[in-house]
Amino acid sequence: MTAAQAGCLTAALEIGYHLLDRGAPALTAVEQAIRVLEQSGLFNAGRGSHVQLDGVRRMDASIMEGQDLQAGAVASIEGIVHPISAARLVMEQTTHVLLVGKPGSAFARHCGLERQPRRPSGHAAGKAAMTRVWSPKTLELYRTMMSSGPALRKRAGKETVGAVALDQTGTIAAGASTGGIDLMLPGRVGDTPIIGCGVYADNESGAVSMTGLGEGIIRIAVAKEICDRLAQGERPVSAATQVLKKLVRRIKGAAGSLVLAPDGRFAITHVTPRMAAGWWNGKGRPTVRDSFQ
């Protein structure tokens, strides 16, 4: 984690906590904390989102609150700085849970959300981008990119962002926002906008926000499985550890989780080498680290 990323995480924690301290809903603290990370360009979300193989940034986000189990999400949206706010608008302004693609992007623009270019200038993929996505060379290019993918992703040093929060009324919320995997096939969607996979929140169990390789997180439905364990009385650290171990054992997945119980116990757990994350309860300074092993 760079010093700039650590500073940005600290700022996000401070903004989220101060909102909660003034009586704001957990949902607002989660949204505003994630907006700080999306705005920074330092993480794989919002301005810092990875691009797909055709050089376009397509982003996913979701948000959920634990009192009435309301949720909203967007997948594969383009040209918007704050997908997390688009997700909240889907939740609050529509009767739907998930909007996708160009119509989802149009919804976000219609709601007046700040815009950014679909195709960041100067990105290597942007320069090499295909003018037609499915040319005969598409899969060849994709395989070349993916074979060096882990190194590229490591070099990028930017991951999905997320937050969980507990407010003064005892309601919890979870959210996540991502640009997906660098140089993925156009149209690929990961776990982040899928309720029960990338996020879940229920006042009767807990709030979970995931980062990591979405293909694995989806197949285990990680967020819901962690919440189910919390509902059975398991501690956050144990619930997260058991489910992440299952992810590794069953499908060689890689992920990290933020887990918060309704009584305030929490865990930051990962089976990746590092996970930049932090927490704050208003005492002292926020804790920010890139490993919680």
The catalytic residue positions are 160
In angstroms, give the least distance from the CB of 217 to ligand GLY. Answer: 6
Angstrom distances, CA of residue 87 to CA of 126, 177, 195: 27, 9, 11
**By the 8 A CB rule, do 12 and 36 touch?**
yes
In angstroms, give the least distance from the CB of 141 to ligand GLY. Answer: 20
**Nearest in space to 29 (alpha carbons), one of 69, 84, 75, 92:** 84
Q: Which two tokens stand for residue 73?
A: 């999400």
Q: Is 214 in the site for ligand GLY (CB under 6 A)?
A: yes
> Candidates 206-214, 224-232, 274-282, 284-292 — which segment interacts with ligand GLY by CB under 6 A?
206-214
* Ranges within 165-204 binding ligand GLY (CB under 6 A): 178, 180-181, 190-192
Among 26, 37, 99, 213, binds ligand GLY (CB under 6 A): 213
> Alpha helix locations (H) across 200-260?
214-220, 222-231, 236-251
**By the 8 A CB rule, do 191 and 197 touch?**
yes
In angstroms, give the least distance from the CB of 275 to ligand GLY. Answer: 12
- How many residues appear in the chain? 293
Q: Is 254 in the site for ligand GLY (CB under 6 A)?
A: no
CA distance 91 to 232: 28
Q: Is 28 in the site for ligand GLY (CB under 6 A)?
A: no
Residue nearest to ligand GLY (CB): 190
Q: Which two tokens stand for residue 239?
A: 């619930």
Residues that bind ligand GLY (CB under 6 A): 160, 178, 180-181, 190-192, 211-214
